[in-house]
Amino acid sequence: MTSAGPLSTDLTAAVRQVLPWARSGLERLVRIPSVSADPAAAAHVRSSATEVAALLREAGMPEVDVLAAEDGRPAVVGRRPGPPGAPTVLLYAHHDVQPAGAGWDSDPFEPVLRGERLYGRGAADDKAGVAVHLAAVRAHGSELPVGVTVLVEGEEEIGSPTISRFLARYADRVRADVVVLADSENLTVDVPALTTSLRGGANLVVEVRTLRHGVHSGMYGGAVPDALTALCRLLATLHDERGDVAVAGLARGGAAPVDLSEEQLRADSGLLDGVALTGTGSLAQRLWARPAIAVIGIDAPAVDAAANMLVPAARAKVSLRVAPGDDAARACAALAAHLETHAPWGARVTVAPARTIAPFSVRTGGAAYRAAHAALAEAWRRPAVDIGVGGSIAFVTAYAQLVPDAEILITGVEDPDTRAHGANEGLHLALFERACLAEALLLRNLAAVR
C-alpha cells in the first residue's frame, strides 16, 4: 500500500507547501479561548466553530456546516465526495479546549514560538488535530483519492455530553468506512504511534458533612470531628500503601508490550526528585490498562481566609479512569459505594451521580490499520508502535455503536512533553510536520482499501 516513487515525493512537497498555511490557521484558532466548560465562553466556542468552518472551506471542502445537537456546543462538518467506488474517510478532531489555569510563561491564548514548540492552550490538544486534517486534505488539492468528511467537535473537553444525539441526528453526514482521530499522542517526538486502547472515565463529586454549622475549633476540637479532616481520611482510603487503587470491584486490563522508561516518565511528567512512582506492575500496565484514581479538586475554606472553625462540610472531585474491558458505569458505582461505606466517625457522605465515558479497544490488523502503519513508517522513516493511552474519548465508543463496521484509527500530534491540559501546553513543530505528511499518505493508502 505504499509507494516510494514520484507520488510520495510529490505529496511530501505538497505537504511542505501547505504547512505555513496550516500553521497560520492553527494560530488563528489558538487565539480563540473556546473553553467549553465555561458558560461565559459560549460566544468564543461559537467563534471557534465559525473559524474552523472558514478554514475547511479554504482547504477545499465544498460542503461545510456548523451543527449541534439540542443543548450541545457547535461542531463543524465538512464533506468532499471522492472518486466513484472510493471509500469514505471521517477525520475527527475537536476545537474546544481546557481552561487555561495558572502557571503559564506566556499568554495561553496567544501562540508563542519558543525553541521547537508552539505554545498555547489548544496548540496541541486538539486544534493541532484540526490543522493536521486541513493540511492533509489541502495537500491533495483536486486529486483527493477518497471521499472525506471532517468532523470537528466542540465539547470533547467536557466529555461530549451530546455526541450520541449529534451522531444519531446527522448519521447520514458522518457515516464512513474508516475513521481517523487526530487526538492522541506518540511514544516520543521521534517514534510514531497508533493508539489501540483508551481507558474510560468519570468524575465523581463527594460531599462529607459532620456538623449543622461551623463551631469554634478551640472549644470543640478534640471531641467533635470536622468535615475536612473526615474527607481527607476518606480520600486516603482510595489507595493502599503502594499506591495501587484500593477500591473493590475495578477490573484490570492488559497493556501493549511497550517498554517504558521510569527515567523518561519522571522527566516527562515533571516528577520531583525523591517522589516515588505509585502502583505496582509495569509502567504500561499502570498508565494504560489499570484503573486510576486522583483527587482533582476540593471545596473547602481557602488557607488565607480560613477561620479557627471546625468545617461543617467539604467536597472533593474524584477522577476515575477505567481499564479497557471494564464497564464504566459499574466501575463508577463501585467507587461511589466505596466512598459511601468508608467514611470515618459516621460522617455523612453524599456522592453526586456522574456521567461516564466507556473504555475502548481498537480492532487491529485490518486493511486500514495496515495502511496507517505504512503511512506512519513512511512519514517518520521508522516503524510505528501500538500503544495504549490512559485518557478517554467519548466520540470513539459513540461512533462505534453507530457504525460498528467502520475501522477506527487513533493517531495524534502530541508527545510526552506536550503538557496537554496543563500550563505551557506546546506542539512540537517537527512532529506536527510528520503528522501532516502521515495523514496525507494515509489518505492515499486508504484509496486501495475496499
- Cα separation of 44 and 32, whole Å? 6
Beta carbons of 312 and 348 less than 8 angstroms apart: no
What is the longest distance spanned by two Cα atoms in the chain? Answer: 84
How far is CA 54 from each of CA 49, 149, 233, 445, rounded to the nearest angstrom?
9, 15, 52, 27
Burial 422-433 (b: 16+ CB within 10 A, else e): eebbbbbbebbb
Report which DSSP code applies to 287: I
Let me know if 96 is a catalytic residue.
yes
Grid cell 468532523 is found at 151
Catalytic pick from 96, 177, 326, 415?
96
Helices (H), 105-146: 127-140
Nearest residue to 174 via CA among 53, 67, 55: 67
Catalytic pick from 51, 126, 153, 156?
156
Residues 6+ apart with CB under 8 A from 372: 180, 194, 384, 409, 411, 442, 445
Alpha-carbon torsion, ordered 253, 257, 263, 266, to 10 deg: -30
Beta carbons of 371 and 213 less than 8 angstroms apart: no
Catalytic positions are 96, 156
